[in-house]
Chain A
Amino acid sequence: QKEVEQDPGPLSVPEGAIVSLNCTYSNSAFQYFMWYRQYSRKGPELLMYTYSSGNKEDGRFTAQVDKSSKYISLFIRDSQPSDSATYLCAMNIPNTGNQFYFGTGTSLTVIP
């Protein structure tokens, strides 16, 4: 079993839709949870990160962490064509050298 599981998609939605991206994980020691966005032929860029359980909102993006279910989500409201990218979840264990464990990424296309 992989440490982090993520549905690879691809996911295609119309402009303005609400998008839900999800990851599950197996290691209960993970404490930091991150979402990266990766445009084609570019390196990943950090979108949001949260510590432990709860919600965090930044503009049109909301990250949720449910540690009891080992499940994290990223919601995108009012999706735009510029949101078309691959979204990677990542997580790590504090004080262990900062190694990140990445999901496989979900490819999202927002159709104008």
Chain B
Amino acid sequence: EAGVAQSPRYKIIEKRQSVAFWCNPISGHATLYWYQQILGQGPKLLIQFQNNGVVDDSQLPKDRFSAERLKGVDSTLKIQPAKLEDSAVYLCASSSVGDNEQFFGPGTRLTVL
């Protein structure tokens, strides 16, 4: 079974630039999550999708972050404009509906200079 795929693995940008991350969940997983993990901290949920609908985006900074999952499969997370404090690893995870196990991708490490 293929795992959760993410790209790019690393990204370095300057503040005020924009950036986008891509995630392909495990085939058949209806639920997709984006997390932000700042160095030395646990993952913080940014947004949760079930199919192409948003279940929870209460912690997504909507003035600069956006995410979509148009066809209920792949998802993109965008930051525009980026701030220094956005430097973190952005993790994508997926799960079957009602399953307590979330499978994580390798993450995208973002550095904002």
Contacts and interface: CB of A to CB of B under 8 A. Distances in A.
A100 to B, nearest CB: 7
Interface of A: 4, 6, 8, 32, 34, 36, 41-46, 49, 88, 90, 92, 97-100, 102-105
Contacts of A8: 40
Given A98-B48, A98-B95, A99-B56, A45 B41 contact: no
Interface residues of B, number: 25
27 contacts: A8-B40, A32-B100, A41-B109, A43-B4, A43-B104, A43-B105, A44-B43, A44-B104, A46-B102, A46-B103, A49-B100, A88-B42, A97-B56, A98-B48, A98-B98, A98-B99, A99-B45, A99-B48, A99-B56, A100-B43, A100-B45, A102-B43, A104-B41, A104-B42, A105-B40, A105-B41, A105-B42
Given A42-B106, A43-B106, A43-B107, A102 B42 contact: yes
A99 B58 CA distance: 11
B58 to A, nearest CB: 9
A98 B40 contact: no
A43 to B, nearest CB: 3
